[in-house]
Structure 1
Amino acid sequence: MPPIALPHDAKAGPTKSEVRAVVRSKLALGAADHFAEVGSCTGAVTIEAAQRAGRVTAVERTADRLETTEKNLAANEESIVADVELRNAEAPAGLPDDADALFLGGSRNFEAVLDHAVETGVDRIVMNVSRLEVAGRATEAFRERDLLEEVVQFQVSHGYELAGATSFNSDNPVYMLVGSATPDSDDERDEGEKVAADGNGGATQ
């Protein structure tokens, strides 16, 4: 799928494309999924989710950023397959009760958002954090709610020409928390991975 277009600026950098690739992998969205996002901002994650999920609910507390989300969605309308609803609210207000997957792109009220995820049984939860202190608090919040599956820290560097050679500029590191409020589903996914690893779905040779 071609890169998404983000012609409109939210005066806040979008989640970088390399980071979004990892988010996509962890969320594993399908056509039957209802995806919810907290802090849509430029709409980068919203758009990529709307190219894969059946329904998308994006919550953004800042009205002008929500307008930017809407404009960038329109710029990618040919690739959108989901029913998309944008809500101007401060999460957990505005979050649906039937989301299958949830992405937290901001750290405001994240404890209350995680409580909502537990109450409504969200299957896949991903939170991105760029500040170390917030990452620590978020990790504890995931653990306290028995949500935490893994914490991933990664950093991307982009090359540029320097004196006829290639040097690199590094982006800020990202801490990604991955979890689930449906442990039974986690067990099913683990079993599926074991079957796939065996090859041929366990068929007799």
Structure 2
Amino acid sequence: MPRVELPYDAKAGPTKSEVRAVLLGKLALGPSDHFVEVGSCTGAVTIEAARRAGRVTAIERKESRAETTRKNLAANGVDGVEVRVAEAPEGLPDDADALFLGGSRNYEAVLDHAVEAGIETVVMNVSRLEVAGAATEAFRERDLLDDVVQFQVSHGYELAGATSFDSENPVYMLVGGASDGPDAGDAGGAGR
């Protein structure tokens, strides 16, 4: 799989490559899936998803960030992605199979939409502890929560002729999806 190049900056950091690897594993996108990203920013996740899913919609509330998404999609040779400028939950399609929340703005309304639309897989990344706790409760209240993963990535650098590590901010990843009926608990998800 080709690397993601992000020559255009959105003044808000992209989801780190290591975090994207875990995220893509949790999403398990296939060629028939419709993936939606809320808060596409640099487009890093959108680019990776477009290489796996059959259809991709990116939503960004700021036109300047949507333009950054478009430019980075083009720089990576990715086309066919619909980029919408809207403040979620406005602009969210009703036929998504997988949804990623790249930010915490209006997340409760987005989760309500996910439940109403029956979105099978919902993933949210959070870096602030207080938001992680509140978002975990919001997932639970909507019977969406399957898993909470906390991880931290550290990168090595040379220090006095040896290798030391500089750690990134921890990320909390909330994973779940909407139940489709009384047999949904047989799918192996906690609470479903």
Are residues 1:87 and 2:91 paired? no
Structure 1 residues not aligned, in runs of 5+: 192-205
Structure 2 contact 143–179 (Cα < 8 Å) conserved: no
Structure 1 contact 105–128 (Cα < 8 Å) conserved: yes
Q: Distance in 2 between matches of 1:186 and 1:59?
A: 31
More helix by share: 1
Aligned length, in residue pairs: 187
Q: CA deviation at 1:83?
A: 3.2
Partner of 2:71: 71
Are residues 1:174 and 2:171 paired? yes
Q: Distance in 2 between matches of 1:133 and 1:104?
A: 17
* Secondary structure in structure 1 of the residue aligned to 2:10: coil
Task: Name the TM-score, length of structure 2 as normaliser.
Answer: 0.94
Q: Distance in 2 between matches of 1:71 and 1:51?
A: 16
Are residues 1:61 and 2:61 paired? yes
* Residues 1:186 and 1:138: Cα distance change in structure 2 (over 3 Å): same
Partner of 1:31: 31
Partner of 1:18: 18
Structure 2 contact 145–175 (Cα < 8 Å) conserved: yes
Aligned-residue Cα RMSD (Å) equals: 1.4
CA deviations on 1:44-101 (whole Å, 9 max, x unpaired) are: 0000000010000110001101000000000111xx3x73100000000011000000
Name the aligned partner's letter for residue 115 of structure 1: D
Structure 1 contact 54–83 (Cα < 8 Å) conserved: no
Within a 5 Å distance, the mapping from 1:41-60 to structure 2 comes to: 41-60=41-60
Q: Distance in 2 between matches of 1:185 and 1:100?
A: 15
Task: Name the TM-score, length of structure 1 as normaliser.
Answer: 0.88
Q: State the identity as a percent.
A: 77
Q: Distance in 2 between matches of 1:15 and 1:187?
A: 32
Partner of 1:101: 98
Structure 2 residues not aligned, in runs of 5+: none
Largest Rg, 1 or 2: 1
Name the aligned partner's letter for residue 40 of structure 1: S
* Secondary structure in structure 2 of the residue aligned to 1:177: strand
